[in-house]
Amino acid sequence: MGHFDFGMVGLGVMGRNLLLNMADHDFSVAGLDLDAEKAASLEKEADAKHDIKGTTDAKEFIQLLKKPRAIMLLVPAGKPVDSVINSLLPYLEEGDIMVDGGNSYFEDTNRRVKELNAKGINYFGMGISGGEKGARFGPSMMPGGNENAYDRLRPIFEAVAAKVNGEPCVTYLGSSSAGNYVKMVHNGIEYAIMQLIAETYDVLKRGFNFEDDELQQVFESWNQGELQSYLVEITAAILKKDDDITGKRLVSLISDTAKSKGTGKWTSQNAMDIQAPVPSIDLAVNMRDISKYKEERVQASKTYTWNGDAKDLSNENVTALFKDAFYFAMVTIYAQGMAQLTIASKEFDYGLNLEEVAKIWRGGCIIRAAVLEDFRNAYKANKELPNLLLDKNLAKGLNKHQKAMREVVKIGIDKGIPMSVYGVTLSYFDAYRSETLPTNLIQAQRDYFGAHTYERIDKEGIFHTEW
Ligand code: 6PG
């Protein structure tokens, strides 16, 4: 029977790259793709050091693999995953393992876990982050599924994952769809941080007339300190790039209408279902949606003008202010996403360990950032920490930068430049740190018009008033 350590279905860029990454780490690998060219091109990579086989035939593919078989699917989320599963099922045997490495919706994974576990197949949903380069040279991987079966996958995944101080950016996260859920929230945080960066770029450019080179330098310098992160790093690189045709900065020639595949929206949708407030992520999704109404925006821009201005600040002072505010916002965004994971873990019985999540997000993934080390330490100090905002060490940094955050939000309001994620992130913070909220009035209103009853602060029980 077969001797190949690992099989990949779907030899697009991600699948191919991850498989080559495994081959570089001395695992023998087989790939299946209906496209004969892709299968052949994978096999061309085989040599004395790399044991690689490509095929277009499902039965042959299964026979190539060592038992219990470890197979990963890297095909588009949705129906393609189900059809690949159905095409392989007749050849699989009890104990075989299937790992869906795409951005699948977590409820789909729950269904597949049930269906396949009933047939004796161990099914995993695993988020993979880091794009094409990550897959080739070290992604962050977020697997969830049957813990016993993970031992078969562990050596391969730990070998190919990104490493931070020698520690691999992969770990078994939890049961059923835990891996897809963690990846979904990863993407929600990704949306919010990207929007935060975009707002910073916008206000510095439109509000303070920063030149392209100055903007680029701002992000480059931020990437050296406490804001060090992949998204800040690539922003600096993007801002430097000239267009080959016009010689202008490429970014200024790109349409301002956003596209998305939907994982950010799923994060917000499910956050609402489980009552986990993540307004910064919600707003980031909203802002991509608003960007789509270009014609209406052009029309409204002529109807509503605003000539307000904020106080005059030197470029140096603005940069310093925004640097502090950015740190504040960044931490508060992660705090929301990670609190969602804590709530989801209870709701769905995932058994997540947030210290481990912070650990595997430190490298390889799109939201990797220096500050993740502090988050890891916060969860190490207190496994039950409900929200990063309650960690004493992080609180020191937030308190230090709180004033800058308020100043920056005021600047956006005065200048009439949308800084929605900055604004809502500060509101989340202010609500979270409010001992009292005006929800007493909302409770009274509900009771007034709908007899929905209310609770009192001075007596036990449920009350209704004839208002
Ligand atoms: C990653 C990315 C990856 C992908 C997103 C883009 O972690 O490597 O998040 O999963 O680039 O799906 O998402 P949108 O198309 O929704 O922006």
Q: Is 190 among the catalytic positions? A: yes
Question: Would you say 420 and 315 are in contact if contact means Cβ atoms under 8 Å apart?
Answer: no
What is the residue with the minimal CA distance to atom 9 of ligand 1?
A: 187
Note the pTM of the prediction, 2 decimals. 0.97
Q: What is the mean predicted confidence (pLDDT) over 305-329?
A: 91
Token pair of 303, please? 């109807």
| Interval between CA 367 and ligand 1 midpoint (Å) | 11
Active-site option among 38, 53, 190, 356: 190
Over residues 274-301, the pLDDT tens digits come to 999 999 999 999 999 999 999 999 999 9
Q: How far is Cα of residue 281 from the mean position of the Cα atoms in its chain? A: 10
Go through the domains of the chain in sequence order and give each one's CATH number.
6-176 (3.40.50.720), 183-432 (1.10.1040.10), 438-467 (1.20.5.320)
Q: What is the mean predicted confidence (pLDDT) over 46-53?
A: 94
Q: What is the mean predicted confidence (pLDDT) over 255-282?
A: 97
Q: Is 133 among the catalytic positions? A: no
| Interval between CA 371 and ligand 1 midpoint (Å) | 21
Res. 1: pLDDT tops 80 = no
Active-site option among 183, 265, 359, 415: 183
The reported pLDDT for the residue numbered 349 is 97
Q: Is the CB of 261 under 6 A from ligand 1?
A: yes
pLDDT band at 307 (very low <50, low <70, confident <90, very high): confident
Res. 128: pLDDT tops 90 = yes
Over residues 348-384, the pLDDT tens digits come to 999 999 999 999 999 999 999 999 999 999 999 999 9
Over residues 199-242, the pLDDT tens digits come to 999 999 999 999 999 999 999 999 999 999 999 999 999 999 99
Question: Can you tell me which atom of ligand 1 is nearest the CA of 139?
Answer: 8
Question: Can you tell me which atom of ligand 1 is nearest the CA of 134?
Answer: 8
**Cα distance between residue 6 and residue 12, in whole Å:** 16
**Cis amide leading into 68 (omega within 30):** yes
Q: Which residue, among 375, 403, 370, has the nearest Cα to 390 in the 3D structure?
A: 375
Return the amino acid letter for 274: I
Res. 308: pLDDT tops 90 = no
pLDDT band at 115 (very low <50, low <70, confident <90, very high): very high
Question: Can you tell me which atom of ligand 1 is nearest the CA of 262?
Answer: 16
pLDDT band at 158 (very low <50, low <70, confident <90, very high): very high
The reported pLDDT for the residue numbered 461 is 98
The reported pLDDT for the residue numbered 46 is 93
Instruction: Write down the mean pLDDT value for the chain.
Output: 97
For β-strands 122-129 and 140-144, DSSP reports them as antiparallel
Q: Which residue, among 152, 173, 17, has the nearest Cα to 71 in the 3D structure?
A: 152
Res. 311: pLDDT tops 80 = no
Q: Is the CB of 291 under 6 A from ligand 1?
A: no
Q: What is the mean predicted confidence (pLDDT) over 114-143?
A: 97
**Which residues 6+ apart lie within 8 Å of 64 measured at CB?**
2, 3, 4, 7, 30, 53, 55
The DSSP code sequence of 271-322 is: HHHTT---HHHHHHHHHHHHHT-HHHHHHHHHH------PPP--HHHHHHHH
Which one of 263, 266, 269, 289 would you pick to mutate in the ligand 1 pocket, going by the greatest count of ligand atoms within 8 A of its CB? Answer: 263
Question: Can you tell me which atom of ligand 1 is nearest the CA of 190?
Answer: 9
Token pair of 203, please? 């206000």
Number of neighbouring beta carbons within 10 Å of residue 125: 32
Beta bridge partners of 73: 9, 100
Phi-psi region of 26 (alpha: psi -120 to 50; beta: other; left: phi over 0): left
Q: Give, in order, the Cα–Cα distances in Å from 240 to each of 212, 222, 368, 403.
A: 8, 15, 22, 31
Question: Would you say 84 and 99 are in contact if contact means Cβ atoms under 8 Å apart?
Answer: no
**Cα distance between residue 32 and residue 23, in whole Å:** 15
The reported pLDDT for the residue numbered 309 is 74
Which one of 190, 260, 360, 361 would you pick to mutate in the ligand 1 pocket, going by the greatest count of ligand atoms within 8 A of its CB? Answer: 190
Q: Is the CB of 263 under 6 A from ligand 1?
A: yes
Q: Give, in order, the Cα–Cα distances in Å from 368 to each of 32, 92, 163, 263, 361.
A: 31, 37, 12, 18, 5
Which one of 142, 291, 361, 366 would you pick to mutate in the ligand 1 pocket, going by the greatest count of ligand atoms within 8 A of its CB? Answer: 366
